[in-house]
Every structure is written in C-alpha cells, then in structure tokens.
Amino acid sequence: MHRRQFIQASGSCSAYVFGLAAFAPLMTRRVFAAQDDSNVVATELWGRLEKIQDGVWALISTPFAKPNPDGSPPDNPFGDYTTVCNGGIIAGDKGVLVVEAFMQDAGARWMSDRAKQLTGKRPTDVVCTHYHRDHTAGHAGFAVDKNRPNIWLTDATQKAAETSMLESGSVDAKFTQVKRLNSANPTEIDLGNRKVKVMPRSGHTSSDVTIELVDPKVIWCGDLFFNGMFPNYSDAIPSNLNDYASELANTKDTTFVPGHGPVAGLDAVQSYQKFLAFVQDSTTDAFKAGKPAEEAAKEFKLPDKLKEWFIWNPDVVKRGYVAWYRELEADKKDKRN
Ligand SMILES: [Zn+2]
C-alpha cells in the first residue's frame, strides 16, 4: 500500500492500524484462521472465499501483515488492503449479489471474477452495509466490460461514502446505478429462486444494514459484528450495538458473517455480546468516577475469560471509551432537561 492510500485508509475502520498486527502474529493467525479449510474455494494474501452452501460464499479478509515463514517481521508492515472488510456472493437463477464494495477496485474486481467463475454470471447487484471506506471505496471495480451491477445503498450511506471518497481524492467518488435501500423497513432483492432481505439497523454507524438469507440461514452482519476483535467504535451508537448483539445472540441455527474476523456460529456471537457488555461496564464505571476517556482507556484490561479478544490497536480502545462517554453525556443531559 502506498503512503497516500495508507493515510486515506486511516479515517475509517479499514484503518492503517491493521498493520500493527505484525506485532501479534500468533493472535492474527488465530483470529483469521478458517474453521474448516475444505470449504475454502480461493485464497489470496489478503483474504479467502469460503463456501457456505451451494450458491452462497463468504469472503473473509485477512488484511493484517503476515510475518515471514521464518517468523521474522513482515516485509510490508501495513498488510494488504485489497478488500479489508469481509463480504460474500449469493447466487440465484436470475441474479448474483455481492455483499460489500471493499477497500480497493482490485478487491471488487476480484469478487466479480470469482462470481463469474463460480456462478457463470458477473454480479447483478451489490449491497454496501455502511459508508466506511473499506466497504465502499472499491465500487468502481465492479464495472467490467459492459457489466454495471445495481449498487444498493441507504441514502445516508451514499451521502457519507461519496463525501469521504471525494475528500480522499478518489477519481470514482460517485456511485453509478444506485438503487435505494429503505432505511426504515426491510428491502427485498429478488435473485429469482433466492430472495435476499436487507434489514435497516444502526449501532456501528447511524445507518447500517444486515443482509439476511432464509435458506440457508446466513446473516452478513457488517461491522455490527467484529468477531474476535475489539470493534471500531469511531462512529458507533454503543447501546444500539449492544441491542443488536443481544438479538444475534438469540438467533439460532444461523451462520454469521461478521464485518471483520472469521465466519461465526452462536458461541462466537454470545462471546461478542459478553465482550460488549464488559466494554459498557468498564466505560460506565470510569465515566461515573469522572475519569477522562483517554486516561481511562489506557487502564483498560481484559478479564481472563475474554483474553482471546484481539486489541488490534490501542486506539480502538480509546474510540470505545469516547463513544460510550458521548452517549453517557447525552443521557445525563436528557435527564437534566
Ligand atoms: Zn465500519
């Protein structure tokens, strides 16, 4: 990654700080390992495509820098940001949908090529779960020959993503062929023999969506779910995030594709719920004690039962405190008025 792209990435949850995982290679391997290698249909340095069922695949991105085989520090300390976020391919007999538009055009192009290879069709539809750059900035890569998929976005996602891409000097700051996702009610995308439900949510940002299939039961959670990693709270509404995690933790017999980290089952979602509750307790205690967020974040420590959770950069902890303080401060004001 060039220095300029590196700086551009830093504003969003794609964050340059993924590179810091170079200092935790063992942790990185654990957090990003495939549960079952036999499901993997394609592997690149920056990610792998896993088959969930016929016509349904999950892309698991592995943007962290990898150490050399001899264990020495990686040649490129910033990792590979071709895709950064997770995604997926859902095929029906009339259309093929790709989840997310990824960090770089090359990532979107790669997914378009995989869709063609696996289903015989280039994507007809793309859904972005929220506006962060690692989920949107690669959208132009889906334009291959004469193929231009519909790009499904909420109004808020389109506005924020285009502003952010424009500010970072992207030559493709405007989406083409946009289809509007309803931000109050579910939107159904018809792929023929498969219907995809897009649910409006909030918590990671003020305008998130999840992508849900009934057969098989799969939910692409976007960044409402970071599996095994401290979530990025930079634009979060933390109590909404907790509410959604509770909802997921009661959703049985489902495969969960997080925004970052490996494919998950119910146990991982329940662990996430506990992790978020611990963050809430820690931040609320510090807030009540009148400790400044930044200072309190430095003292944050995971209890033994949550030790496995990966803090990929000290900054993500600080962002968690800042987000909770923002909400707690607003609650206090509400009560006063
Ligand atoms: Zn995000």
pLDDT tens digit string along 227-246?
Answer: 999 999 999 999 999 999 99
Distance 177 CA to ligand 1 centre (A): 23
Å from CA of 132 to ligand 1 middle: 5
- Comparing 28 with 105, the larger pLDDT belongs to 105
Token pair belonging to 261: 């980290």
Q: What percent of the chain has pLDDT over 70?
A: 87
267 C-alpha vs ligand 1 centroid, how far in Å? Answer: 23
Exposure string over 180-219, b if 16+ CB within 10 A, otherwise e: ebebeeebebebeebebebebbbbbbbbbbbbbbeeeebb
CA–CA dist 235, 224 (Å, integer): 12
Residue among 220, 223, 192 at smallest CA distance from 206 = 223
Q: CA 266, 268, 269 angle in degrees (round to 5)?
A: 65
For 92-154, the three-class secondary structure string (H helix, E strand, C coil) is CCCCEEEECCCCCHHHHHHHHHHHHHHHCCCCCEEECCCCCHHHHCCHHHHCECCECCEEEEC
Ligand 1 centroid to residue 96 C-alpha, Å: 24
Q: How far is the CA of 204 from the centre of ligand 1 (A)?
A: 7
pLDDT score of 236: 98
> pLDDT, tens digit, for every residue of 70-87?
777 666 666 889 999 999
Cis peptide before 216 (omega within 30 of 0): yes
Q: Please tell me the total number of residues recorded for the chain in this structure.
A: 337
Identify the pLDDT of residue 309. Answer: 86
What is the number of other CB atoms lying within 10 angstroms of the CB of residue 337?
5
Closest among 156, 276, 273 to 205, alpha carbons compared: 156
In angstroms, rounded to a whole number, what is the distance separating the alpha carbons of residues 196 and 199? Answer: 10
Instruction: Compute the distance from residue 185 Cα to the ligand 1 centre, in Å.
Output: 21
The CA 94 to ligand 1 mean position distance, Å, reads 30
Burial of 74 (0-12, 13-18, 19+ CB in 10 A): middle
Q: Ligand 1 mean position to 31 CA, how many Å?
A: 18
Question: For residue 67, what are the contacts with CB-CB under 8 A and spacing of at least 6?
Answer: 22, 25, 73, 74
Over residues 122-130, the mean pLDDT reads 98
**For range 281-304, the mean pLDDT:** 96
CA of 255 to the centre of ligand 1 (A): 20
What is the number of other CB atoms lying within 10 angstroms of the CB of residue 11?
15
| DSSP category for residue 21 | G
Q: What distance in angstroms lies between residue 36's CA and the mean position of ligand 1's atoms?
A: 26
Å from CA of 320 to ligand 1 middle: 14
pLDDT digit string (tens) for 170-179? 999 999 999 9
DSSP 289: T
Residue pair 83/59 in contact (Cβ under 8 Å)? The answer is yes
How crowded is residue 243: how many other Cβ atoms within 10 Å of its Cβ? 15
Measured CA to CA, the distance from residue 5 to residue 103 in angstroms comes to: 10
Find the 165 Cα to ligand 1 centroid distance in Å. 14
Has residue 2 got a pLDDT over 60? no
Give pLDDT, residue 70: 77
Give the pLDDT band of residue 36 (cuts 50, 70, 90). confident
What are the structure tokens assigned to 53, written together?
């069922």
How far does residue 335's CA lie from ligand 1's centre (Å)?
31
Q: Check: CB of residue 266 under 8 Å from CB of residue 295.
A: no
How many angstroms is it from 81 CA to the middle of ligand 1?
Answer: 14
Taking the centre of ligand 1 as the mean of its atom positions, its distance from the CA of residue 15, in whole angstroms, is 10
In CATH, the architecture of 84-336 is 4-Layer Sandwich (3.60)
What's the gap in Å between 102 CA and the centre of ligand 1?
A: 11
Mean predicted confidence (pLDDT) in 321-327: 98
What are the extents of the domains in the chain? 84-336
